[in-house]
Structure 1
Amino acid sequence: MSDALLLFDLLLALAVVAIAAAALLVRDAFAMIVLFVVFGLLSALAWVRLAAPDVALAEAAIGTGLTGALLLKTLHHLRARGMAGWQPGAVAQRPVPRAVAWLNAGLALAVMAGLGVAILGSPLRVTGLEIAVAEAMPLSGVENPVTAVLLNFRAYDTLMEVVVLLSAVIVVWQIERGAGPAPAPSLGPVWQGFARLTLPAAALVGVYVLWAGAEAPGGAFQGGAMLAAIGLMMLLTGLYRPHPDHRGLARLLFVLGTVAFAATALLVAGGGRASFEYPPSYAKTLILLIEALVTISIAVTLTALFHGREPVALKGDLRHDP
């Protein structure tokens, strides 16, 4: 059995490298995106083999699903604006300067060499922080060590990740402001019926993944990505149309997770503890509250990133004309 798994792991590693190389070398933009999605799925499977289901869920939901959808939407957006450089086969018309290509290759080789030296030079059979995390688990408020690390032991890093998402949607709205509208892709009436049947179940799964994160693989980012997939489906099928009146609510939901995260840190620090040093009796409640609000912000932010531009009033609409 171990020989079969070893063969599977070798084939998986070779497939990941081969798909990554193909995504870099193929000249068709659509094919690049498809290969990127396949690469993400294989990477998620690799994380499963490395006994990291939390990372695998995040990779499959965010790194593959939503990022792939964003890339496809970007390609559609560029083609709709008549940018011929993004048409199939047109990438070859704008060759990369040889000096830039060699510089990129050199930097990539340097990164690979650095990673190789770090891996080969690292000691074997070292537990790292595993023992420290295990000893602190009774005070963390949750039973899943990954959630304990992300929301308790290194909550600053997770807060900054939420801030990055907030910054991304602010930048996108600013860049797109004033740009002319581009036709949005539509899946048609068949997919509308499919969406109406599956979206309630998908919402339940997203909420369950959030709730299960306290004890099993899951959490805010995985649950938020699944809920964002619902938003993407609603946009694509036309079940929801962003309206200028919704901008205030959208902005509130964008900052909801960041504000809750930072307010909790300040509240705990005001009680004489270090930031994010939750009182053991309230740790689980605070973590679940933060995760729930962060999940909402992640879902709305990722959906807004897919939509792209800030909802604005059409010309002639006197009620919403800015």
Structure 2
Amino acid sequence: MSTFIIGFDLLLGAGLLWLAWQALFHPKPFAAVVHFMAFGLVMALVWVRLEALDIALAEAAIGTGVTGALLLAALGRLPNGATPRLALRPWQRPPVALALGVVLLLGLWLAWVAWQLPRPGLSAEVTAALPESGVRHPVTAVLLNLRALDTMLELAVMLGAVWLVWSLGPELRPYAPATALPGLPALTRLLHPLFLMVPAYLLWRGSHAPGGAFPAGAVLGAGGVLLLLADAVPWMQRPDRQPLLRLLLSTGLVLFLGLALGGLLLTGTFFAIPVAIAALAILVVEVAAALSIALMLMACYLYGEPGR
């Protein structure tokens, strides 16, 4: 490894630490949000350096795009002067040193656990099971076959987050409507084909290379948030469309559960997919999960429960 690459990696690591500190402790809320969004972009570069392009894409779309939009929307809805900075005495300030100590101890513990893992890992076992998984890429095989229960629970957590966000208050309009940003509808029309083609490509790529439902859903959801900003998807807030919205939100989780129960009926083992139908079953679940993930991200941005 060349000196330039080592220096670049060290610069990325130092930049992450500095941006994280600024996002947590900057005295101005808007500047803190901007630093958080910049942190997501630098973190995406770190994932690229680790050759995890699918995670990098999801980080950029969710960590910077969707989450950044949510934070800016929440900040914009605060009344003026709602976040004053109080002059606290030293003993009244948050125990930063204690928090940093806990993080350091947890980091050392995780490093020790990682050191104890078998080397070179479970790659040989995963590779041996690939012919029976229905896909040709080990990451997709692990996510949707070898540890599918964990992936299904991740969808359940996301759906639970939507219910929690909807319970916070009544329906609110997007923070930056199209009338306030006249160029936004044109930008949306320009980027909309990309937000459709890239997720489709990621779904297709997921069977044999890094990709799959989660990065595809992240990119599609980021495009959906842009549509919400441009007020281009009013059906999500119409009371008569709420049954359809709730059905689409839960489709990924329901199909995942159906796949698990189907495996139990056909093979006697929970989540055991017969080899003959594994490829088709995974494709159907991938498409449904990507659509549900995208709509979950958009539904979180709606803030309140639509149509109440």
For normalisation by structure 2, the TM-score amounts to: 0.91
Matching residue of 1:201: 194
- Asked if structure 1 preserves the Cα contact closer than 8 Å seen for 2:168 and 2:303, the reply is no
What SS does structure 2 have at the residue aligned with 1:310?
coil
- Asked if structure 2 preserves the Cα contact closer than 8 Å seen for 1:85 and 1:93, the reply is no
In structure 2, the CA distance between the partners of 1:184 and 1:99, relative to structure 1 (3 Å rule), is closer
Greater mean alpha carbon deviation, residues 212-221 or residues 56-65? 56-65
- Aligned counterpart for 1:84 among listed residues 75, 81, 84: 81
Matching residue of 1:255: 250
In the aligned structure 1, how far is the partner of 2:107 from the partner of 2:123? Answer: 22
Task: Give 1:180-195 correspondences, 5 Å limit.
Answer: 181=172, 184-187=175-178, 188-195=181-188
In structure 2, the CA distance between the partners of 1:124 and 1:36, relative to structure 1 (3 Å rule), is same
In the aligned structure 1, how far is the partner of 2:254 from the partner of 2:69? Answer: 28
In structure 2, the CA distance between the partners of 1:278 and 1:116, relative to structure 1 (3 Å rule), is same
In structure 2, the CA distance between the partners of 1:83 and 1:255, relative to structure 1 (3 Å rule), is farther
- Aligned counterpart for 1:114 among listed residues 106, 124, 129: 106
Greater mean alpha carbon deviation, residues 257-266 or residues 106-115? 106-115
Code of the residue aligned with 2:231 in structure 1: it is: G
- Asked if structure 2 preserves the Cα contact closer than 8 Å seen for 1:255 and 1:297, the reply is yes
Per-residue deviation, residues 7-55 of structure 1 (Å, max 9, x unmatched): 1111111111111112222111111111111111111111221222232
Task: Give 1:127-138 correspondences, 5 Å limit.
Answer: 127-138=120-131
Cα offset for 1:125? Answer: 8.5
In the aligned structure 2, how far is the partner of 1:105 from the partner of 1:232? Answer: 37
Higher RCO (CA < 8 A, seq sep 6+):
2
- Asked if structure 2 preserves the Cα contact closer than 8 Å seen for 1:85 and 1:94, the reply is no
Pair 1:173 & 2:166 matched: yes
In the aligned structure 2, how far is the partner of 1:125 from the partner of 1:164? Answer: 30
In structure 2, the CA distance between the partners of 1:165 and 1:125, relative to structure 1 (3 Å rule), is closer
Pair 1:273 & 2:252 matched: no
Per-residue deviation, residues 173-217 of structure 1 (Å, max 9, x unmatched): 22224x7x4673124332212212221232111221122111111
Greater mean alpha carbon deviation, residues 272-281 or residues 33-42? 272-281
- Asked if structure 2 preserves the Cα contact closer than 8 Å seen for 1:54 and 1:146, the reply is no
In the aligned structure 1, how far is the partner of 2:141 from the partner of 2:67? Answer: 26
Work out the number of aligned pairs and report it: 303
In the aligned structure 2, how far is the partner of 1:251 from the partner of 1:106? Answer: 43
Matching residue of 1:298: 293
In the aligned structure 1, how far is the partner of 2:231 from the partner of 2:173? Answer: 15
Per-residue deviation, residues 98-146 of structure 1 (Å, max 9, x unmatched): 46712x5324312312322442571599212222112111211111211
In the aligned structure 2, how far is the partner of 1:182 from the partner of 1:52? Answer: 36
- Asked if structure 1 preserves the Cα contact closer than 8 Å seen for 2:137 and 2:207, the reply is yes
Q: Percent same amino acid among aligned pairs? A: 40
Cα offset for 1:312? Answer: 2.3
Code of the residue aligned with 1:211 in structure 2: it is: W
In the aligned structure 2, how far is the partner of 1:268 from the partner of 1:26? Answer: 51
CA RMSD of aligned residues (A): 2.2
In the aligned structure 2, how far is the partner of 1:183 from the partner of 1:152? Answer: 38
In the aligned structure 2, how far is the partner of 1:134 from the partner of 1:62? Answer: 30
In structure 2, the CA distance between the partners of 1:191 and 1:160, relative to structure 1 (3 Å rule), is same
Code of the residue aligned with 1:105 in structure 2: it is: A
In structure 2, the CA distance between the partners of 1:54 and 1:96, relative to structure 1 (3 Å rule), is farther
Matching residue of 2:157: 164
Matching residue of 1:64: 64
Matching residue of 1:225: 218
In the aligned structure 2, how far is the partner of 1:118 from the partner of 1:201? Answer: 39
Matching residue of 1:149: 142
Cα offset for 1:83? Answer: 6.1
Matching residue of 1:105: 97
Matching residue of 1:93: 86
Cα offset for 1:254? Answer: 1.1
- Asked if structure 2 preserves the Cα contact closer than 8 Å seen for 1:210 and 1:291, the reply is yes
Structure 1 residue runs of 4+, over 6 Å off? none
Pair 1:215 & 2:208 matched: yes
Code of the residue aligned with 1:74 in structure 2: it is: A
Matching residue of 1:318: none
Greater mean alpha carbon deviation, residues 144-153 or residues 118-127? 118-127
In structure 2, the CA distance between the partners of 1:94 and 1:59, relative to structure 1 (3 Å rule), is farther
- Asked if structure 2 preserves the Cα contact closer than 8 Å seen for 1:57 and 1:218, the reply is no
Which sections of structure 1, spanning at least 5 residues, go unmatched? 314-322
Cα offset for 1:164? Answer: 0.8
